[in-house]
Amino acid sequence: MRNPDCLLLRVGELALKSEQVQRIWFRMLLRNVRAALGRGYRLETDMNRIFVYGGAKKAVPKLFRVFGLTSLSSCWECGSGIEDINKLAVEVAKHERVGKKSFAVRARRAGCHEFTSQQIAREAGSAVVEATGAKVDLGEPDIEINIECRQRKAYVFSEKVPCAGGLPAGTGGRALAVVNGRDDAVAAWLIAKRGVDVETVGKRAGMLSKWGIRKKSGQKDDYAGYQALIIGEKSRPPAAGMLVLRPLVAWTGPETAAAARKIGLK
């Protein structure tokens, strides 16, 4: 089977905002996605979905740490007609070798169509059963074949890669994080996930560089331009006369350690 045609990127909390805020923040998210990808990729958007063309496999490691994205999937695309969808669903099923496994088809649609999501799932599932003899299990299938039918195209995929989630970087102001250890880094990451543009200072200021969180340039004790200071529970706030954020104040040691492993901190 051919390589996936594109990546489907999903947003989370952004979709809960007002239409005006959604438009502004979605543009900021697109800017962040483009910055993470670099050159050589083409982006398309459709109703809170972002599609990335130009090498899906290479793009995945660049995107799963972008705040504001909840998950991504490598997709094969086809026309939005039932026959095209059924044909591609069978190809994906064979690619995933569902013959000796159980499967389920999950379908969603957007736009104007003469069929419902349930009809897409039912007909695609029947086509897969006829072609492979696989067993349908809607409760706990071995493999899920997902279909997103849009106005002009449909996208078929079988896996979802979790992303950072949260809100797009830059939507929540600016803050400075004092990072001298693991707990400080976790605190900075939690605030960055809420859309705050975070910069770091301290002995281990580079711990979060892979998440796009930069070291502060210039004097480390210069707090001008920042709306808050972020610290972990083991650090003392400097006498900076500014708002101090301590997101770990109610966390236990094991919770902090689990979060550090999730982020990829040692």
Q: What residues are paired with 149 via a beta bridge? A: 109, 154
Residue 12 pLDDT more than 90? no
The answer to the question of residue 169 being in a domain is: no
The answer to the question of residue 1 being in a domain is: no
What is the pLDDT, as a whole number, of residue 223? 81
The domain in which residue 178 lies consists of: 174-263
Choose among 199, 223, 232: nearest CA to 213: 199
Report which residue type is found at 29.
Answer: L
Q: In total, how many domains does the chain have?
A: 2
What is the pLDDT, as a whole number, of residue 240? 62
How many whole angstroms separate alpha carbon 236 and alpha carbon 178?
10
The answer to the question of residue 167 being in a domain is: no
Do 129 and 42 sit in the same domain of this protein?
A: yes
pTM: 0.89
Q: How many residues does the chain have?
A: 266
Do 137 and 178 sit in the same domain of this protein?
A: no
pLDDT tens sequence across 248-258: 999 999 999 99
Do 64 and 186 sit in the same domain of this protein?
A: no
